[in-house]
Structures are given as structure tokens and as C-alpha cells.
Amino acid sequence: MWERSDILQISERELTPEEFQVFLRQQKARVIHSYDEIIIRGYCYVRFLIMNMRIIEEIEQYIPRRGRILDVGCGFGLFSLLFASCSESRQFISFDLNSKRIAIAKNVRGKLGLTEQIDFRTCDLLDYGFDEKVDAIFVLDLLHHIPQTEVPRILRSFHDVLPGGGTLIIKDVTTKPWFKMVFTWLLDKLMYYTAPLHYYEKSDMISLVKEQGFDVKFHHMIDILPYPHVLYVCRKTGGN
């Protein structure tokens, strides 16, 4: 198992792909076991099962090794905690509207020795000020829960706080194949019955993001589980 002293050296040297896969898997286990409640550990295990290691590795490679990173809708803080563990030079601003989840995330942050790296906040995305510049943003499985009329404004806010060439990572689900979309819809309704729900076709999401000043690289994520995972890696065009 990698110890904290090893983690602090990760940003100082390159690991082979095989070493990094081992490292990332061990940090995932370390994060899960830092939660006190068994039910929450179970949730974290399932969340990491859905967001499998291939997807996590794909996302992690696009997050800068150093700089300020915004985690939008962070929940229990799983991915901020994991990605912060991969480089001590990453600083996270991570927010969620659920204050109980944020309190739990702060507790785990202390256990993992990441207090100086992650600023957990309670805030609704629709009310977030976007008054601090960041180097990268990631949004995982959230945009399909946001009212459609608000999504262009939010994407524009992401654009405004990024530097030229800054990265926006959107992991979401799409509409095809239809049976995977139906399976995802049923689970979403089971978890958040009254929440807005709209899945975007690939072309529609790419158009939305491009309209706000980003270049977009699309990844279709293959998964044995019945989820239509997609990843949009977006770069802000132009200068600041």
C-alpha cells in the first residue's frame, strides 16, 4: 500500500502506466475505507463500480497535475479526495448542495491528510457565484439533473472562470443505446424522483458546449454495465 510519504512524491516523478494503475486502485480503496458509516462505504463502492477504473483513469489524465480545480456537485467528495491523492500540487474547490454530505467529506479529508488541498463548500450550482478563477473544472453525472434552460448559463460560467486553454471535463450519460438510457432513467428516478431529468444526445451536448466557446473532444466509454457513459473533454478557446 502506498503511504502518505509516497503520495507526496508522486508529483515529483513519473510512474509507469502499470504503477499508476496500482497506485490509483489503492487510493480508491483508501478513500472508501476512510468513511465511518458502512452504508456510506457501500454507496462509495457502488459509485466507484459505476464509475469504473477505466473511466476514472480517463478523467484523471485530463486534470492538471497542479493548479486550482473546481469539482461541481461533489457529493461525499469521492473524486476530489481521490484526485487530490494523486498530486499534492492540486488544489480543489469542491461544492455540493447537501450540507450533510459536505460535513462527511470534510471529516474524511482530515483523515486522509488533505485538508490543505480541498476546500469543501455547501452551495447549489444554480446559486454558485463563479467569482474565482480555476485551471480546470469537472462535472460528473450532474448536468442531466439541471433544468435545460439553465445549462447554457452554467456552461458559460464555466468558460468565464477558466483561462485560455483551460479544461472542462463533463462525464454524463447519453440517449443511445436506448435500453441503457431506460435503465439509467429508472435508477435516476429511484434516487431523485422529483429532480429534473434530461439526457442529451451527443450532438446536442457538443453544440451546447461549443456555443459557449469550447473545443470538444468526445469519448464514448465502453462498459459492461448498462450505462451509456460519455465523456466530453472541452478546452476553452482564445485567451482569458
pLDDT tens track for 109-121: 999 999 999 999 9
In the chain, % of residues over pLDDT 70: 93
> What pLDDT was estimated at residue 102?
98
- Return d(Cα 53, Cα 218) in angstroms, integer: 18
18 — pLDDT class (breaks 50, 70, 90): confident
pLDDT tens-place string over residues 64-108: 999 999 999 999 999 999 999 999 999 999 999 999 999 999 999
- pLDDT for res 9: 46
Dump strand ranges (E) for 99-158.
118-122, 136-140
Domain that holds residue 187: 4-236
Q: Rounded to whole angstroms, how far apart are CA atoms 62 and 170? A: 11
**pLDDT score, position 16:** 82
Q: What is the CATH number of the domain that holds 118?
A: 3.40.50.150
The model's pLDDT over 150-205, given as tens digits with 9 standing for 90+, comes to: 999 999 999 999 999 999 999 999 999 888 989 888 888 887 777 789 999 999 99
CA dihedral 167, 169, 174, 179 (to 10 degrees): 150
The CA dihedral of 12, 15, 21, 25, to the nearest 10 degrees, is -30
Spatial distance between the Cα atoms of 42 and 30, rounded to a whole number of angstroms: 14
- Please check the confidence at residue 19 and state whether its pLDDT lies above 50: yes
pTM value > 0.85: yes
The confidence score (pLDDT) of residue 192 equals: 76
pLDDT tens for residues 4-14?
444 444 444 57
Residue 185 has a pLDDT of 87
Count of domains forming the chain: 1
Q: Which of 139, 146, 1, 147 is nearest to 62 (CA)?
A: 139
Percent of the chain past pLDDT 90, that is, above it, reads 74
